[in-house]
Structure 1
Amino acid sequence: MHTTAPPFERTRPWFMLALGLFAQVAGTVAVTTPAFLLPLLTTERGLSLGQAGLLVAAPSLGMVLTLIAWGALADAIGEHWVITAGLTVTALAGLGAFLSTDLVTLALFFALGGMGAASANAAGGRLVVGWFPARRRGLAMGIRQMAQPLGVAVAALVIPSLAAAGGLGEALVFPLAITALAAALSALFIVDPHRPPLAEGSATGRPANPYRTSAVLWRIHLVSVLLVFPQFVVSTFALVWLITAEGWSPLAAGTIVGISQLVGAVGRIGVGILSDRMGSRMGPLRIVAVAASLSMLVLAGTDVLGWPVLAALAVVAASTITVADNGLAFTAVAELAGGRWSGRALGAQNTAQFLAAAATAPIAGGLIALVGFGGAFGVTAILPLVALPFVPMRDKISGKSL
């Protein structure tokens, strides 16, 4: 006889997704807060842009150092306490930053906050994949991948106004409060999904290392690194290109970039739904790679034409397309790694992308200095095509809990 699951059981995955999304939004707010303190740091505190830049980079450095470690811990003990502990560390670091009296201590607490926030990145993906069946994972992970642009948007709206009204101390209260709230909600309500048993016949009593049994995960990491470059070229240089080369005012250019971020966030969901319906992550990933190359060529052509309206439309399109691979790759990595290795694999995925993103600005900046914006966009269009043959021909989508 067919039985219907209780309403709470049907909605629980979505509740877990909401908790994981909020956890990562809170962590993103904490990590990006220093970037929105730049005007205050350079005027009120008298720091040079180089010194302030070190403070801005501190949380990202902390994240890179701990992403894989948090993922390994999530593989060992589950997502509940990893996310709770990590955000508690971030909240305590926020308190330390609020109480800091010198810039060195402030930088250390910013770095510590980033180390804690990495827990939501590594374990949050596991939480989504574990609670959702394969036919809905693309959609769920697309929603989860909205956390980063949403967190940046929240920080952009809140932090500068708080800093202008009450100075550094008041601005630091908000990331402290939101991460403390996220830690409390995680502790109270996150439930770890079912963990699959070890494969039969395991001689060591440990899950098999997917990096040793296949090159597929390595290939997805490489593809993601190559696709990160155009994503961050657009997000880093679109604003200055629109202002200096296409004649847009700073306010109008900022509005265009902001709209493009929101459209890109929605686009991640659309691509996730497409992957669910196709029953494949790699098929849509190949489509995105080709589209990313074309979008960068359009940007290059637009730079030559010098049509401001077309430039704005090209930025929105390129911003949407170049971020669309993130959810696909994360979902595929988690599915292929399996429930006993997905935390470490997602940590490795995040680490590779963060390192590639950090390298993008200086490399692309030097390229722009040599060949101009159009030339740099054109060169960047080559990278998605380089990535294309490395996209695995097959991927693993099954109905089993991972």
Structure 2
Amino acid sequence: MAPTRQRWLVLAVGLFAQTAASSLVYGMPFLVPALRDQEGLSLARAGLLVSAPIAGLLVSLIAWGALADRYGERVVMASGLVVAVVSSSVVGLADLGVRGSAVGLFVAGVGGASVNAASGRLVMGWFPRDQRGLAMGIRQTAQPLGVAIAAAALPTLAKDVGVSRSLLFPASLCALAAVLVVTLAADPARTPLDPTAAKPLSPYREPVLWRLHTASALLVLPQFAIAAFSVEYLVRRQDWPVAAAGGFVAVLQVCGAVGRIGTGVWSDRVGSRLRPMRQLAVASAAVMLVVAAGDQWSSWLAVAGLAVGAVVTVADNGLAFTATAEIAGSQWAGRALGIQNTAQNVVASAAPPLLGALVGASGYAVGFGAVALFPLAAIVVTPVAAEAHRLRAAEREPVGVSGPPARP
């Protein structure tokens, strides 16, 4: 197979694997109504099951990234997917109770995290620099696609076959993904390191990656402010019907996924990930202020701000991941992507309850206005000036790992 065709095939496999894992890790919220109606669980106990796979993902991302740096992407992704399939199937087929199911889902999240950590590294290895923005933008559409699949399938399956057995659907997707990874997702070519050569120093000895992770985490706040509260805001404050609000937000999610691809192409053309990321931080701050002003004075302005914000606030995600891998260099990319993903997920988990408390105490105008402070801080923190210098340093480092080269 020609290298160009193969790299796009590898991207397609990585995209499917990430989508399958996302449908499992982030799909539990769509089973909450069935958990309460069919299983009689309290909201707190249902919440335990929702958080279990996400917790498993959070605690294992960096470790999976380190394994990908050492042993390659394919074996890490395939192994993790098998763990996710087995653990979620046990939850689906056995009567484990709430605590047992939570443990099983936690392990499934650990397995699913392998794809988060390694698929980005896989894409980075196969694509040249002038195509990585596009490729990573496409890869970053996997999470919303996985959530959309879970939203469409799991509630109906829970009604027809029961809550536990509905988990066999994302498990089957992960099983198919594991097969595709093993058969089609070859690791990018690597040059074995000279065992007598000094190991590359950690890129974290300099502040560039720390600043990048911090800026990216700050930009998660407006993203999840809009994602978590758009439907509630439209229904409670703008008097929209629930179905209309849900449909509107679903369309915006698709637009946001397309926007990630567009910003990836933009970064390829300008030869920088962090200049567009800083400009998007400016746009995110502006749009949150527009929503806050609209809530105070004009309902149509608030709705327009939410629509634009749903695209703008997610557009930087692929840029941050691409920049992280490029700046870290080939031998640190997996660990760096694990740290990047961990930081984002920690902030994403904390954002809804904290913002909810602020909105409950002070109203939406104050809440959305306060969120604008975070992208404003990201404008300052984003290490645009250091990007070119660190990239030149990374390019001088060896481009392989110890061990045999990947098979073609």
Partner residue in 2 for 1:29: 23
Partner residue in 2 for 1:235: 227
Partner residue in 2 for 1:208: 201
Distance 1:273 1:250 in 2: 35
Partner residue in 1 for 2:53: 59
Shift of the 209–75 alpha-carbon distance from structure 1 to 2, 3 Å rule, reads same
Partner residue in 1 for 2:326: 335
Query: What secondary structure does 2:27 align onto?
Result: helix
Which of the numbers 173, 193, 197 marks the counterpart of 2:188? 193
Aligned residue identity for 1:157: A
Shift of the 211–198 alpha-carbon distance from structure 1 to 2, 3 Å rule, reads farther
Pairs within 5 Å for 1:146-185: 146-185=141-180
Is the contact between residue 123 and residue 343 of structure 1 (CA under 8 Å) also seen in structure 2?
A: yes
How far is the alpha carbon of 1:51 from its aligned partner? 1.0
Is the contact between residue 246 and residue 311 of structure 1 (CA under 8 Å) also seen in structure 2?
A: no
1:115 matched to 2:128? The reply is: no
Q: Which moved more, 1:99-108 or 1:67-76?
A: 99-108
Is the contact between residue 142 and residue 270 of structure 1 (CA under 8 Å) also seen in structure 2?
A: yes
How far is the alpha carbon of 1:316 from its aligned partner? 1.8
Partner residue in 1 for 2:356: 365
Is the contact between residue 293 and residue 302 of structure 2 (CA under 8 Å) also seen in structure 1?
A: no
Distance 2:128 2:18 in 1: 21
Is the contact between residue 57 and residue 113 of structure 2 (CA under 8 Å) also seen in structure 1?
A: yes
Is the contact between residue 282 and residue 394 of structure 1 (CA under 8 Å) also seen in structure 2?
A: no
TM-score, reference length from structure 2: 0.93
Is the contact between residue 259 and residue 316 of structure 1 (CA under 8 Å) also seen in structure 2?
A: no
1:289-331 CA deviation, whole Å, 9 max, x = no partner? Answer: 0000011011101111242x44333222111111111100000
Distance 1:363 1:175 in 2: 30
1:30-89 CA deviation, whole Å, 9 max, x = no partner? Answer: 112211110011111111111101110000000001000000000000001000000010
Distance 1:352 1:186 in 2: 27
Is the contact between residue 73 and residue 82 of structure 1 (CA under 8 Å) also seen in structure 2?
A: yes
Aligned residue identity for 2:218: L
Which of the numbers 6, 14, 21 marks the counterpart of 1:20? 14
Which of the numbers 214, 218, 228 marks the counterpart of 1:222? 214
Is the contact between residue 291 and residue 303 of structure 2 (CA under 8 Å) also seen in structure 1?
A: no
Unaligned runs of 5+ in 2: 401-408
How far is the alpha carbon of 1:200 from its aligned partner? 10
Pairs within 5 Å for 1:200-349: 202-203=197-198, 206-212=199-205, 214-307=206-299, 309-349=300-340
Is the contact between residue 45 and residue 98 of structure 2 (CA under 8 Å) also seen in structure 1?
A: no
Give the CA RMSD over aligned residues: 1.7
Q: Which moved more, 1:187-196 or 1:31-40?
A: 187-196
Shift of the 196–387 alpha-carbon distance from structure 1 to 2, 3 Å rule, reads farther
Distance 1:160 1:196 in 2: 48
Is the contact between residue 291 and residue 301 of structure 2 (CA under 8 Å) also seen in structure 1?
A: no
Partner residue in 2 for 1:351: 342
Aligned residue identity for 1:168: V
Aligned residue identity for 1:231: Q
Pairs within 5 Å for 1:28-47: 28-47=22-41
Distance 2:192 2:301 in 1: 54
Aligned residue identity for 1:331: T
Q: Which moved more, 1:162-171 or 1:23-32?
A: 162-171
Partner residue in 2 for 1:103: 98
How far is the alpha carbon of 1:190 from its aligned partner? 1.2
How far is the alpha carbon of 1:194 from its aligned partner? 2.1
TM-score, reference length from structure 1: 0.94
Query: What secondary structure does 1:394 align onto?
Result: helix
Distance 1:295 1:325 in 2: 14
Partner residue in 2 for 1:4: none
Aligned residue identity for 1:268: R
Is the contact between residue 195 and residue 339 of structure 1 (CA under 8 Å) also seen in structure 2?
A: no
Distance 2:303 2:21 in 1: 31
Distance 1:371 1:384 in 2: 21
